[in-house]
Chain A
Amino acid sequence: MAFVALGQGSAGSATPTKTSRVAFILLAPGLIYLGLFFLTPLVSLIITSLKVSSPTGEIGMYDFGFELGNYAYAIGQYLPQILRSFTYAIIATVMALMISYPIAYFIGVKARNKPLLQAMLLTLVIAPFFISFLLRTFAWKQIFSNDSPVTNFLHTIGLLAPDQYVIGTPFAVVFGLTYNFIPFMTLPIYTSLERLDIRLLEAGSDLYATPAKTFWKVTFPLSLPGVISGTLLTFIPISGDYVNASRDFLGGSDTAMIGNVVEANFFRIQDYPTASALSVMLMAAIVVLVSMYVRKSGTEDLL
């Protein structure tokens, strides 16, 4: 929704013409799609989040109501998981950025004159998409399992105490989140660096700027659109991710994120109002955080 609001500025400057009818026809499929597949579930979610327990007391039965208390209950009950989600999301996004930027820079700038190398490296970045991320996460679960060579090695060199293990720890979850979302960070940064005019860098050094200064004054600002869309493409899905932190994958008993709480409330205890309230709040929190972030970085027009 933030994107819609932010987009209005530029869209409003175009004056309507007699082609508006055509425009409307062209827009119609998109509008119908949004109405059906975004607004309908959203409204249904908000209605569910306000429901009250059925007087029969049967599990999973709820009546229509206007129970704002569901929101207070959800926050009171699940604040640790809410905070944990955003903490994990921020850490994983920063990690992904720090890993992705050099890769993207190398592929987009340094490897520019070697098309074969560039294509091969890009393939390496994209290749993981060829396998379902569930399977890849499951593979990491095997790699990090308690009796695996990796874990045994970590025990041998003393990095892990004998009663410490990798699976089920916050480290494993953040690792999984970072790993799974790196391509979403690398590709947008690569696309903006790919267009970077090398002559600007040469101009920088001609004017006696150090390489670091050239980077921060020229390269980085020019790649900012990629960085911004990369961070959004990773931060938003990571906040709501429930696979990596799930106990069936890399998570443990103390790593549940909002997605896991929503899943448990929906599928295990059939507490639909609480699950819906959490979903609505997650969405609202992301909209607020993202619009603050976009404003702060002064890049409204870049989106």
Chain B
Amino acid sequence: MKQGLPQDPMMRQLVLMARHNMTRRAALAGLGGTAAALSLASCAPAGESALTPAADLSDSEKVLTWHNWPLYMDEDDNGNYPTLDRFQAETGIAVDYLLEIDDNDTWYAKVKDQLALGQDIGADVASPTSWLVDRMIGLGYLQKMDDANMPNKVANLAPAYLGNANDPDRTLSVPYQGILGGIAYHKAAFKEATGKDAPTSVNDLWLPELKGRVGLLSEMRDTVGLVLMAQGIDIASADSLTEDAFNAAVEFIAAQVSSGQVFNIKGNSYAEDLKNGNIIAATAWSGDITIINFETESEDFGFVIPEEGATISADAFVIPMGAQHKKNAEALINYYYDPVNAAELAAWVNYVTPVVGAKEVLMETDPDLANNPLIFPDAELLSKTHSFRALTGQEEQRFATAWQNVLLGA
């Protein structure tokens, strides 16, 4: 069953990650009756009867609603989205682009009841993060997409993203952007406060000079993951990332919060705190920094990969069971898998692009960007990125509760 690893280092890394996931799941199923029942239950839809896709009205209704994250779409000076506008002009599909996802948990909490009933959640397509996508796949909340409508995806999806145990050929979820979790900082303010040019480690966030000026992402897997890595824990491994290790990291963060070192713990709105000077450094997502610089019309802000490692994950297009415009959504996905469009998007959002060929397109128009390791990570960078291991439902509940108690400042 084992196949040789691909030559390309990024692919190699991603294949390894995907395999890791698979073996873990296989091990779980092998634990015996209870574990088998448990994994069966988590694969089977929650209700008594499986959900079925809503009727597709795409042929008569040229509309599409998309729930996406802020700072996640190319934008011009007038606040228009050039690639999205071109999609609408080319296909005649009117896209309602909504910045509904500030945080996976809060978004999921808003839509989960409709998801469970197979009803329309108000979005035909959404792009949450992979761990949440896994949960939604397990619960049977997602429609299977038709590859025939997405030739670009078939041709250009980086093979590293295939082979996920839940969704081997990526017909339930198609990657939108890969995300690196690291540290964002205000260059001048950081230098003034600490005397250092840039943070090199997550531990730099705990420098006394930064007291009260540090932000953390409310995304558990990124913030706790970064802290765990700084403590020498391998977050991809169940042996290394035990519940004790997790709780120790959470307690460490709680101590930083109660000592006043940490200013705030937030979702994507941490960008506001960086911009208005509330914080000087924060755990952050790689792509946001470009748009923060763009919005402040400056080059004041920087992003670094901590020396102990960065977290890596992906946001993926999914089509919920209740969505009535599947074919329109597939057209959208197909559009963003055209390397030209993907390159234009990548040049703006600066996240890791899953589209093969985008780098070559960018090489011609903007070699600097094409050589930016945050968009097209090289072997050295990829060797430092790790993805948070899969959690069982009960682990998830306990981990999330512990993390939430930090946010509530018990």
A positions within 8 Å CB-CB of B: 53, 56-61, 77-78, 80-81, 142, 145-147, 163-165, 167-168, 247-248, 252-256, 260-261, 264-271
Chain B proximity of A11: nearest CB distance (Å): 40
Contact with A along B36-79 (1 / 0, CB 8 A): 00100110001000000000000000000000000000000000
Q: A58-B139, A253-B265 are in contact. Are A164 and B212 (CB under 8 A)?
A: yes
* Number of cross-chain contacts by CB at 8 Å: 110
Contacts of A256 in B (CB 8 A): 407-409
A253 CB contact (under 8 Å) in B138, B257, B400: B257
Contact with A along B264-279 (1 / 0, CB 8 A): 1110010000001111
Once the chains bind, are A269 and B397 in contact (CB under 8 Å)? yes
Contacts of A53 in B (CB 8 A): 397
Once the chains bind, are B105 and A247 in contact (CB under 8 Å)? no
Once the chains bind, are B213 and A247 in contact (CB under 8 Å)? no
In the complex, identify which listed stretch (B89-97, B119-127, B148-156, B388-396) lies at the interface while the others stay far away: B388-396
Contacts of B263 in A (CB 8 A): 146, 165, 167-168, 252
8 closest cross-chain pairs (CB), A and B: A147-B277, A267-B109, A57-B393, A254-B409, A256-B408, A57-B394, A253-B257, A58-B393
Name which residue of chain B comes closest to A163, CB basis. Answer: B211
Once the chains bind, are B42 and A80 in contact (CB under 8 Å)? no
Once the chains bind, are A78 and B410 in contact (CB under 8 Å)? yes
Q: Is B110 on the interface with A (CB-CB < 8 A)?
A: yes
Chain B proximity of A82: nearest CB distance (Å): 11
Q: A57-B393, A268-B400 are in contact. Are A167 and B278 (CB under 8 A)?
A: yes
Contacts of B231 in A (CB 8 A): none
Q: Is B372 on the interface with A (CB-CB < 8 A)?
A: no
A59 CB contact (under 8 Å) in B276, B279, B400, B407: B400
Q: Is B371 on the interface with A (CB-CB < 8 A)?
A: no
Contact with A along B339-361 (1 / 0, CB 8 A): 00000000000000000000000
Kindly name the residue among B103, B212, B258 whose own CB sees the greatest number of chain A CB atoms within 10 A.
B212
**Complex formed: what's the CA distance from A197 to B284 in Å?**
63
**Complex formed: what's the CA distance from A60 to B393 in Å?**
9
Q: A80-B410, A163-B212, A268-B400 are in contact. Are A252 and B277 (CB under 8 A)?
A: no
Contact with A along B125-139 (1 / 0, CB 8 A): 000000000010011
**Complex formed: what's the CA distance from A217 to B60 in Å?**
77
Once the chains bind, are B257 and A142 in contact (CB under 8 Å)? no
Once the chains bind, are A145 and B278 in contact (CB under 8 Å)? yes
Once the chains bind, are A268 and B112 in contact (CB under 8 Å)? no
**Complex formed: what's the CA distance from A256 to B404 in Å?**
11
Contacts of B392 in A (CB 8 A): 57
Give chain B interface residues in 277-298, CB to chain A under 8 Å: 277-279
Once the chains bind, are A56 and B401 in contact (CB under 8 Å)? no
Chain A proximity of B157: nearest CB distance (Å): 29
Contacts of B410 in A (CB 8 A): 77-78, 80-81
Once the chains bind, are A269 and B212 in contact (CB under 8 Å)? no
Contacts of B110 in A (CB 8 A): 267
Chain A proximity of B224: nearest CB distance (Å): 14
What are 24 inter-chain pairs, A to B, with CB distance below 8 A? Answer: A56-B41, A56-B42, A57-B42, A58-B41, A58-B46, A59-B397, A60-B112, A61-B46, A77-B410, A78-B408, A146-B212, A146-B278, A163-B211, A163-B212, A165-B212, A247-B264, A252-B409, A253-B407, A254-B258, A256-B409, A268-B106, A268-B404, A269-B397, A271-B401
Once the chains bind, are B41 and A59 in contact (CB under 8 Å)? no
Name which residue of chain B comes closest to A269, CB basis. Answer: B400
Extra contacts, 19 of them, besides A61-B46, A267-B110 (Cβ < 8 A), are A56-B46, A58-B41, A78-B410, A80-B410, A145-B276, A147-B278, A163-B260, A247-B265, A247-B407, A248-B269, A252-B409, A253-B258, A256-B407, A264-B404, A264-B408, A265-B404, A268-B404, A268-B407, A270-B112
Q: Is B262 on the interface with A (CB-CB < 8 A)?
A: yes
Chain B proximity of A38: nearest CB distance (Å): 22
Q: Is B405 on the interface with A (CB-CB < 8 A)?
A: yes
Once the chains bind, are A57 and B109 in contact (CB under 8 Å)? no
**Complex formed: what's the CA distance from A254 to B256 in Å?**
11
Contacts of A252 in B (CB 8 A): 263-264, 409
**Complex formed: what's the CA distance from A188 to B135 in Å?**
51
Chain A proximity of B363: nearest CB distance (Å): 40
Contacts of A56 in B (CB 8 A): 38, 41-42, 46, 393
Chain A proximity of B103: nearest CB distance (Å): 8
Contacts of B277 in A (CB 8 A): 145-147
**Complex formed: what's the CA distance from A264 to B397 in Å?**
13
Chain B proximity of A48: nearest CB distance (Å): 13
**Complex formed: what's the CA distance from A256 to B405 in Å?**
10
Contacts of B278 in A (CB 8 A): 145-147, 165, 167
